[in-house]
Every structure is written in C-alpha cells, then in structure tokens.
Chain A
Amino acid sequence: MDQPSATNATQTFDPVEFETEPARYRHFRVTYDGPIATVTMDVDPSACIRPGYELKLNSYDLGVDIELADIVRRMRFEHPEVRVVVITSGNDRVFCAGANINMLGSSSHAWKVNFCKFTNETRCEIEDATAHSGQVYVAACNGTTAGGGYELALACKEIYLQDDGNSAVSLPEVPLLGVLPGTGGLTRLSDKRKVRRDLADVFCTTAEGVRGKKAVKWRLVDAVFPRSKFAEKVRARAEALAKEAAEGLPGGTRKPVILPPLAPEVTATSRTYRHVTLTWDDDARTATLTIAGPSEDDVALVERGGEALLEAGADLWALRAFRELDDALLHLRLNHMEVGLVLVRATGDPARTIRHDAALAACRDHWFGREVILHMARVLRRYDNTSRSFFALGDAGTAFAGCLFELALGADRFYLLDDPDQPVHVGLSALSFGALPMHHGMTRLSAHFYGEPESLEALADDTSLKTPEEADEAGLVTVLLDDIDWEDDTRVAIEERVSLSPDALTGMEQNLRFPGPETMDSKIYARLSAWQNWIFIRPNATGPQGALSLYGRPERPRFDWQRV
C-alpha cells in the first residue's frame, strides 16, 4: 500500500503560498449588500492545490481554505460596513461535504496535520470576528452538510438548515473514516452548542446524520426552513442580526482598508518583507525570524489617533509587520518541515515600541485601531500554535519590548545578553496586560507567571524600560548570559535542541506553552487535534487496512480491536 504517500511531500512541488486576493478565487463568490455579505461556496473540482483528487460536492482542501481565510480576514479590513456574513453553497444539493477524503487519504501525515491546523485557525478567526468585530457569521445550509461542512457551520454563530426531507447535518468521520471530526466539530458540539453528550454520541456515530425538526431539537441547528422559503427566512434573520450587531460598535469612519499583497523578496534561503525577515538553514535545521519595531514616524502617526491610522491603512506598521509575521509563520510551517528551531529576534528601539503600543492601545475605540490589535493577537496565537521550537535571542541590537516582547514570552526560551557595553533593554507595554490573549484566554505574561502570582503582581501595569538585570530579577528571562558566554552557550543550546526528537518536542512545547485553564479554542488544539493526530498515525485509520486508507476502495477496513 502506498501509505503514507509521497504525493504531498513538499519538496516535489512549488511551495504553498498563503496569500491570495478576490480576483484569484476559484471556489467562492462574495457579494455585498449593505451590512450583509454572502459568501457562496462553489468549489471548482479541478482546482486542487495538489494533484491526485477532485474536489467534488463542495469538498475542500488547503487551497479552498486559504481562500476562505482570505475572505474572513479581508471582510474585517476591507468591508467594515458588514455586520452579518452568510455562508451558503452554490451547489444544488450539497452545502459542503467537508475536507476531501481522497486528499486526506493520499496526504502525508505532516500535510494532514498542517491542513487541519490551518483550517482550525480559520474557524477560530470566524468566531473571533463574530465575538469582537461585530461581524456575525451565519451558516445557511442549503443542502447536505457533512463532516467538515458541518464543522464550518459550527464555527458560525447561527446555523440554518434546509428542511426538504433530505438535507441533513452530519459528522460521519467516526463511522465512515475511522477518524475524528477534527476541525473543532466535537468540541463545538459539546462546548458551544451544548448538545447533550449522549445525543452527541448518537449523532457522531450515525453517518447519515440528523435532519429536520430533530436537528433543531438536538440543538444541532438553530432552525430549519422549507426549501421554498429558505433564502427569504435566512435573509430576514440576517437583517435582524445585522441590526443587533450594529449596537455598541467602536467609532471611526468605516472606510475600507485594502490589504495589498506583501510581495516578499524570495531567495533559496530567505524571505524578506518590509519589516520581517525569515532566513533558514536547512542543514542546521534552524531558521531566523527577525522583526523590526516601529520607526519614530510610525509612532508619531499612531499618536495622531484612529483616523490617522485609517489614513495609513495597510501601511501601518502594526498591521503590515504582523501580516508579514503571519505569512512567514505559515511559510515556515508548510514549506520547511525540517526546520525544527526558530531563532527569534526583535530589533528597533524598545522605548519607542512601548510608546507605540500605548498610542495604539488608545485607539481601541476606533474600529480600525481595534482591528489592528485583534489582528496582532491572532498572529501571536498562530505563533503559539506553531509546532517548532522558538528561542528568542536578546543579543546586542535587539529590542524585545511591548508587542514584540510577546514573541519572547511566547517562545520556549528567552536568552538575554547582559553586557554593560551594549545594554539590551526590554519592557512591557499597554498591550501586555490583556489586549493580546492566547488561545486559552490568558495573557502570555500571566501564563509565564502561572506559578508565581507575586511576580505577576509586581509587574502590574509596569511599562518601564528594564535593564537585563532588572528583567532577569523580575523573572522575565530564561537565561541571562554575559558576552563571554553568549556565543558558546547559545550555540550549544541550539545544537542540543535540534538533536531532540521533533515529535517529543512538539508535544512537550504544546503542553508547556499553555499552563492553566482551557477554553473552547484551546481544547480544539490541545485535546481534539492531539487525539486526531494520534488517530491519523494509527493503523486503524491510515494502515493498509485502515478506514481512511480504504475509503473509496473496493476493500473494507479491518480493525485491530485492541483498545490502546
């Protein structure tokens, strides 16, 4: 059997690019009508991101989801007038059949895992827009809504299903494929829609799903409407929701901020953006991610307030730099699988970054200022979720401060140089204390000090610039090194890190990065994805006789009945 297959081994293909734009969409149509946008999914079966399968029945692959992510992101910046986003299907009978099974069956483990992570992040972004941007997503399921299709609907605030005696919502992964509904399905069923757990058990083991009134009764959907009235009823609901969502929104001129392509300069070993540089060394299995802080002009601009931000639009440092960081992380994840350790550097003037953050935080009552901060928070969550080791290196010339200090706090270790000749200052800012939460709801600072509440208390609202010694004293540094030790100690640490098992490291890091309580979001990554990724490598799913391998083949799966 050809499992795992080499079909998606990245080296045989062009790297995946995560940037796209509306003119290039192959799978979605987006229409705007005042405060209501309609996203119509109509997947082009032949436009797959990798060869070897067909995207039938509105099923999706990474390429489809890259477009969806682009739609969700642009909606917030380019269509600030939109209050309700209705997701529906352009297919006659099917809303969405979920992730393409042949694609999953023929993909490498790494591809599957990265695909699932990216799709999960997009669904969390949908919920983030609903919760924080007054852009409420509604699923108008005008046909069969299966697997990942229902999981997409679950990410929406409300779900409406066509009642035609046929259209059902379903999560057939367990009975049909021997895997989990891993794009948040199980978690949102229990934690978001609060479906009774015994009914959820029945639902998740019934391949054909549940339709009509029963789907409403089980809270799987919010309502069912007959086919002939479906569009009209959904529209009426969308209008009512748009009115609700318009209440209490932040102010500012609702002028679109168009996001131009980032267009990095790409070489065989680097991607250079305006503020971010990513370089990689395949032999050493390391990469270096450098992000430059704001300039004095950038700070002056932000200090002029929300409308000035809006004038700057996508050129605003805080938006541009974090978009670049986001793209660099995605590139690293999918196109450089063997890079295990990322060395992170922030440059600039730390005091300036702290001033910048204070000014930006003051723009939170402006819709665009708020969106910029929400975007920073999402990118930083992507950083937390990236299965690479991160070492923040605070050597000479670095400036880990404010929002960039989050990269040090989010890293697995923070090395700081203590050299009186070249003092490296660090500091917290107005954005350090709650504006940029992690997936599990905590700030990176409070997660850092989960076991030391007094250290956290001591730093409350402290945005002063700190010397290396002060920072170390405050507990913000993993290892403080003088200039004599720096070179050798960091080299050894790096070499040691890249020699450890990548699997164990991923597991360890993901456990240690998120101390404290869970939220629905963090459970999706920590519990659901972790189980899913385990099941993905088990013979019962992907072995030669596994259910996922054999789906679509004439043989039927044979299970190893041992419960492990």
Chain B
Amino acid sequence: MTQVSSVDLNSKIPNNVGLSDDPKLRRALEKWLPEYLEWWGDMGPSDFYDKPVFLRTAVSVTRDGWAHYDYVKMPEYRWGIFLAPPKGELTVKCGDEAGRPAWTEVPGEHRNALRRIIVTQADTEPASVEQQRLLGHTAPSLYDLRNLFQVNVEEGRHLWAMVYLLHKHFGRDGRDEAEELLRRRSGDPDKPRILGAFNQPCDHWLSFFAFTMFTDRDGKYQLAALAESGFAPLALSTQFMLTEEAHHLFVGETGLDRIIRRSAELQALDPNGDVRAQGGIDFDLIQRTINYWFSYSLDLFGGEISNNASDFFASGLKGRYREDKYEDHKALSGTYRLPVVEGGRLVEKDVPLRHAMNEVLRDAYVADCERALRKWNKTLEQMGSPTRLTLPSRRFHRHQGIYAGHFFDPEGNLISEETFEKNRRRWLLTPEDNDYLLSIMKPVYEPGKFANWIAPPKRGIEGKPIDFEYVKMHD
C-alpha cells in the first residue's frame, strides 16, 4: 500500500468528524492507514480476503446509515469514524465537576489519564482480531463465518475510532501510541497486549463464543462507562461503538445457547446421555469454558479497590454504567462493602465508594452474565435436560485485584493452593479439552448446513434466510 491521496482518504473513510476539512488529522491518518492495512493483512483473517462476505458497514450515523449491508471483500471494507450525534447539551456526568459543560478538547490536567484510558481500550480491539485470526478455518457454518468476520471488521473499526481520538487530540504522543497499537501482538511474550485476557489463546469456536459472550461484554461495560465521560469526543465515540458491540455480544450469547441446545439434543439422543459419544460438547466442558473466560474477563475491570478508578471518576473521565440513573454523581461520601482476605479468611470491609468504582461496574457486568446463564438454563429446561450451568464466584481464578494470589473454589470459598491445583482440571479448560474441541471442529461451508456440535440459529441476518450464502466461498 502506497500513499493515499487526501481525496481518496476522505472517500475511503466514511466519517462525520469533518475529515475533509481537517488537514492535520488527515495527514496523521494518511501515515497510519498503510500501517494499519499492513497489520490487517498480517494479523487479520487474511486467508479469506478474496471471499465476498455479507457485511454490515456503518456509512453514517443516521438510522439507516449505520447498518448498511452488502457483499464486501474484507480488504475493501470501509472503516469509518463516527461520533454519535449528541443528545442535548453535553456535561461532565460525574465526579467533582459533575454538571459542568463537557470538554470538547482534552484538558491538560487530565491528558495523561485520558490517553491511558483510550490506549487501554484501543489495545483490546486489534488484540481480539489477532486472537481470532484462524477461526475461519473451523467455522461451523457460513452464518457463523460471516458473524466472525463481522466482529473482526468492527473491532478494526473500533481501533479506528480510538486512533481517531489519539490523532485528533493527543498530538505527537497520540500518533506514537497509535503506532504502538499496531506493534503489540496478542500472546507475544515480548510485545504482549496490555490486558491479560487479550493474550489468552482463542483457537476454537467454543472459546470464540465464550470470548464474545464474556470478554466483549467487559468491553460493553467499559465503553458504557466511557460513554459517560466528560471528554465529549470519547463519550460520543464510545456511544457509537456500543451499537456495534451489541452484535458481538449477540454472537457470543446465542452461539453458546446454540451449543447448549445441541448438546441437550445429543444428551437426549445418546442411550447413556453421553454428549461426547455423539460428537458434541459435553456440559462439563462448557462449564469449564464459562469458568475460564468469565474469570479472565472479570480481571479486565481492574482492582476492586483502585486509586485509578477513584481518580478517573473524580475527574469526570469515566462514569458508572448508566450514570444518569444515579442521584448522587459525586459519590464522595459513600462506601462500598466487599469481602477481602485478611489473616487467611474472608472478612467484609467498607471502602470509599470512589475507590470501588471498578467493582460497581463489575456488579453490572456480573448481573448481565447471570441473566444470560438463566437464559441458557431455560433452554436446558425446555430441552428436558437435567443439567444446569452456573456462573462461578467473582473471586474464583483471578489474576488481578485483591483476590489474585489467593485460591477460591467456583462457589467463592477460600481454599488452599493444593486443593485448587487438585481441582484445576475439573474447573478450568485443559489442553486435552482443546485437543478434543479441535478434533470435532471441521469447517462447514455449505449454505444452510451446520456442524454437528451446534444448533442452527433461530433466524438469519438482516432478514435473510438461514441458508443464505453469507460468505461466497466459490465465486
């Protein structure tokens, strides 16, 4: 990819940020775009770049513009830059300055904190593309293949959205950070992605669905908290990203639901109720997957008691989930009670509410995950299966925060390291699980056909039938 002229650039990048009138921004993006395309070529799902995919592209923020469907070859996907149209006067939503007009430019005082927030969020977007780059080879259907690619291109666009903020508002530092975003690699010991879950391998579809269910859902809550930011460009950018993120969560939640549905069918079908004997995914393995990805995703919220969380909230940079539902936006006097490990046992402790903002956000997330679990158990009930799935305690298997370094069982009881290690294979994904899953995951590229281990969806995409050719594998 060589130089892109500015005329090209403006037509290539659908936007509502006045790109054509902003030479400084254009110059920054012109330099970054070829590097981005090179990264996308190296680390995206490149084996499928010659296949037309039925994709949604956001071309404007109007109701019909944000979801424009057509066949696109992924290298030609148009990654746009959109800010949600502001609803009324924008204000700082939380913290010491709650109620004041929002900042349209970065306040110097908060520059470093904002940059850090944006870079941390941005880093997750390309990371997930890297984690998922080979999954196309084992897709259970064209429908799922298309959803995978939809998620991939939109994560790419989310990176764009964040890079736009870095380029537009953070000068040279911002440009440097934008380049670094293309240099880190998921799982690379030398240049890892910033957050742990984004360095975990995601090499089969059970993990993909769990990832989009649990890890993308962390993303949703992070974006929702940033959508409350007093820095207007960040708030509006993340609001628009949320509309896309909803689809990713849908893919994950329904993907797992379809696996559960199919496993229940196979359970009923097998004389011994042995799902594996029927080539399906047994419920213990599904439970281990839930345990694994849920716990890694909880880590993404950061420490339970956090100075950073307090600072971000106090400065109005990051709010709570749906901040407007709260009465008191300063949260200066309240406390939050949580169990902490002290002297080898769990005791309840009150911490200043501001310091517990990560935990407050995690509460909303956990409640949402519990809702999904209830739904899946409903499916099991409807299918006549005796099995029920559970969400582990938020203390289980943590690598960040106050529970890291201690050992808990999935119910949240404090246990010894020895007991944990003895049960690890019962509670968490094992290498043998991966081997088994890879052995049953053979690609199914025939329209309307689905792999044996997953049920078809209830309906297709954008009103298309289930047997629609979502990805044209043969031109």
Contact = CB atoms under 8 A, between A and B. Distances in A.
Contact of A552 (B112, B116, B190, B307): B307
Interface stretch (A114-122, A160-168, A391-399): A160-168
B203 interface: no
B311 interface: yes
Nearest to B111: A206
A222 interface: no
The range of chain A's interface size is 10 to 19
A553 B356 CA distance: 11
B314 A164 contact: no
A226 interface: yes
A165 B193 CA distance: 8
A204 to B, nearest CB: 13
Nearest to B313: A554
Contacts of A192: none
Contacts of B314: 554-556
Contacts of A175: 112
A165 B191 contact: yes
A163 B307 CA distance: 26
A554 B311 CA distance: 7
A228 B310 contact: no
Contacts of A227: 189-190
B346 interface: no
A208 interface: yes
Given A554-B352, A556-B314, A165 B192 contact: yes
A464 B311 CA distance: 67
A141 to B, nearest CB: 15
A175 B116 CA distance: 15
A166 B332 contact: no
A91 to B, nearest CB: 11
Interface in B306-363: 307, 310-311, 314-315, 331-332, 352-355
B310 A554 contact: yes
Given A208-B116, A553-B352, A556-B96, A166 B307 contact: no
B194 interface: yes
Interface string B345-387: 0000000111100000000000000000000000000000000
A164 B192 contact: yes
B307 A165 contact: no
A208 B190 CA distance: 20
B190 A163 contact: yes
Nearest to A163: B190
Contact of B311 (A163, A206, A229, A556): A556
Given A165-B183, A208-B112, A208-B116, A554 B353 contact: yes
A456 interface: no
Contacts of A553: 310, 352
A554 B355 contact: yes
Interface in B178-195: 180, 183-184, 189-192, 194
A433 interface: no
A54 to B, nearest CB: 11
A555 B183 contact: no
A215 to B, nearest CB: 13
Contact of A554 (B183, B189, B332): B332
Contacts of B180: 165
Interface residues of B, number: 22
Interface string B169-210: 000000000001001100001111010000000000000000
Interface string B108-128: 000010001000000000000
Of A164, A207, A229, the most chain B CB neighbours within 10 A belong to A164
A551 interface: yes
Interface in A174-188: 175
A164 B96 CA distance: 36
B95 to A, nearest CB: 8
Contacts of A208: 112, 116
Contacts of B332: 554-555
Contacts of A166: 192, 194
Interface string A228-247: 11000000000000000000
Given A554-B354, A556-B314, A228 B112 contact: no
Interface string B52-89: 00000000000000000000000000000000000000
A466 B410 CA distance: 82
Interface string B279-312: 0000000000000000000000000000100110
Given A226-B190, A552-B307, A206 B96 contact: no
Contacts of A551: 307
Given A165-B180, A207-B112, A227-B189, A556 B307 contact: no
A228 B189 contact: yes
Contacts of A164: 189-192
A556 B184 contact: no
Nearest to A551: B307
Contacts of B192: 164-166
Interface centre among A207, A229, A552 (most CB of B within 10 A): A552
A419 B220 CA distance: 89
A228 B185 CA distance: 14
A207 B307 CA distance: 14
A209 B184 CA distance: 18
Interface in A507-541: none
A399 B351 CA distance: 61
B37 to A, nearest CB: 21
A266 B425 CA distance: 58
Contacts of A554: 310, 314, 331-332, 352-355
Contacts of A206: 112
A313 to B, nearest CB: 43
A556 B184 CA distance: 34
A552 B310 CA distance: 8
A48 to B, nearest CB: 15
A165 B184 CA distance: 7
Contacts of B184: 165
B290 to A, nearest CB: 26
**Which residue, of A226, A228, A551, A554, has the highest number of chain B Cβ atoms within 10 A?**
A554
A226 B307 CA distance: 30
A226 B192 CA distance: 11
B403 to A, nearest CB: 14
Interface string A538-559: 0000000000000111111000
B194 A556 contact: no
A229 B116 CA distance: 27
A555 B333 CA distance: 10
Nearest to A206: B112
Interface string A315-353: 000000000000000000000000000000000000000
Contacts of A207: 112
Contacts of A165: 180, 183-184, 191-192, 194
A137 B22 CA distance: 52
B343 to A, nearest CB: 10
A535 to B, nearest CB: 20
A165 B192 CA distance: 7
Contacts of A556: 96, 311, 314-315
B194 A228 contact: no
Contacts of A552: 307, 355
A229 B191 CA distance: 12
A226 B185 CA distance: 13
Contacts of A229: 190
A556 B315 CA distance: 8
B225 to A, nearest CB: 17
Contacts of B315: 556
15 contacts: A165-B192, A166-B194, A208-B112, A208-B116, A226-B191, A227-B189, A228-B190, A551-B307, A553-B352, A554-B331, A554-B352, A554-B354, A555-B314, A556-B311, A556-B315
**Shortest beta-carbon contacts, A-B, top 4:** A554-B354, A226-B190, A554-B352, A165-B184
Given A166-B192, A207-B112, A556-B96, 6 more contacts: A164-B190, A164-B191, A227-B189, A554-B332, A554-B353, A554-B354
Interface of A: 163-166, 175, 206-208, 226-229, 551-556
